[in-house]
Structure 1
Amino acid sequence: MFKIKTIFTALSLSASLFLNTAVLAETTIYDIKGNLPDLKFDLKKIDNDHFTEKNLQGKVVLVFFGYASCPDICPTTMAELSELRNSLSKEQMETMQIVFISVDPHRDTPKVLQAYVDAFNNGAIGLTGTEKEIADIAKRYRVAYQIGKPKSADDANNYEVMHAQGIYIFDRDGKARLLSSNGEDTDKIKQKLETLFN
């Protein structure tokens, strides 16, 4: 009973860690094996090419939900994931794939999103979709986010987005294995990843 309660506390983490809270707590990594569905999606990457979980077969996949104009949590996490990737061996680098899924599909076109992730030089793939597609995948992995109303009637693109922070880690078979509260302690995440590369 305690284990189940702990797992669901971990999963509800996404609902409580919002971007404007500036929460920089110690990195906690939860074992979520068997508590979230397998990796599955059908979204778009640059040039509007469809991209699914099948394109990631055999990879250890780190998924982060955010948006390109995020002022703090997203760039910080992406920089930390770059540090993590650079600490791996060449073989491990080739086996790991970072995926950044936008929760702001109105502003984040595939081109905008890929340009954003490319700035971090970590080989990440930026993915987006329709509002419904994003809502569906967020629901699948219990990711909380909220898009605010435009601040001005004259500028429909001027609005705030709140979203949970957390890095979802899937093994080479697409099974959900780990949930990291953030990317701050890259050594701790790397240690956990070691078991998934084998």
Structure 2
Amino acid sequence: MRLNCVARRVAVGCALLAATLLGACSQPGAPWQLTNVSGHLPDLDFALTADNGQRMDANDLRGEITLVYFGYTHCPDVCPETMARLMQVLAKLGPDAQHVRILFISVDPARDTPQALHAYVDAFDAQHALGLTGSDAQIESLAKRYRVAYQMEKRDPDGSYEVTHSSAVYVFDAQGRARLLATDKDTPDAIAHDLRRVIDASA
């Protein structure tokens, strides 16, 4: 069952991002190791509840390089693996990591309270990672804005369930413009390399 869930998650992500990937990759000589999505996705724009219970919007992150990932705290595999990989990226950035913020946006707002998100992101990096949640309508609208697919799977007899979701990481520059897309195929070295380019360009 777990394998089927993972397969669906990958298939959903690939199908929805295909147009973006093809459009970006068609640019010859692109200098990025990640997928260049400049001009293909809208600027960073949201208004959600942060893991400290306070309202937060995109303006609060202006001047920072922002990595956006849609996941959920009960995720058994892809979410913790992705967060761990991003921790490796921050380590490779060294002092440049001070310019980077990671937004973990929940696709499971029913269970992911601010308190649950706070404990989750703090377990990875309390300094750079922030958890965000909101109403079902807010999450659905934001996911649609960035072509993120997610779906709650059938509940188990004990009431637990998994959420199938896209697994890409979106990179926004200091002005909130969508710049790059990282997938699970991209190594921490490749992500760190391109993030450093974005950071240098924003200096």
Taking structure 1 as the reference length, what is the TM-score of the superposition? 0.82
The equivalent of 1:170 in structure 2 is 172
The equivalent of 1:70 in structure 2 is 75
The equivalent of 1:189 in structure 2 is 191
Any conservation in 2 of the 1:77–1:184 contact (CA below 8 Å)? no
Q: What amino acid is aligned across from residue 66 of structure 2 in structure 1? A: V
The equivalent of 1:101 in structure 2 is 105
**Cα deviation 1:18-51 (Å, max 9, x = unaligned):** xxxxxxxxxx721000110000000101242001
Aligned pair 1:53/2:61, yes or no?
Answer: no
Q: Give the 3 Å change call, closer, same or farther, for CA 184–34 of structure 1 in structure 2.
A: closer
**Cα deviation 1:72-92 (Å, max 9, x = unaligned):** 0000010010111011132x1
Structural RMSD (CA): 2.0
Equivalenced residue count is 174
Runs of 4+ displaced beyond 4 Å: none
What is the CA-CA distance between 1:184 and the residue it aligns to? 5.1
What is the CA-CA distance between 1:54 and the residue it aligns to? 0.8
The equivalent of 1:8 in structure 2 is 19
Q: Which has the higher helix share?
A: 2
Any conservation in 1 of the 2:109–2:134 contact (CA below 8 Å)? yes
Percent pairwise identity: 44
SS in structure 1 at match of 2:115:
helix
Aligned pair 1:126/2:137, yes or no?
Answer: no
Any conservation in 2 of the 1:46–1:114 contact (CA below 8 Å)? yes
The equivalent of 1:111 in structure 2 is 115
Any conservation in 2 of the 1:110–1:128 contact (CA below 8 Å)? yes
Aligned pair 1:84/2:89, yes or no?
Answer: yes
Any conservation in 1 of the 2:20–2:40 contact (CA below 8 Å)? no
Any conservation in 2 of the 1:144–1:164 contact (CA below 8 Å)? yes
Any conservation in 2 of the 1:40–1:53 contact (CA below 8 Å)? yes
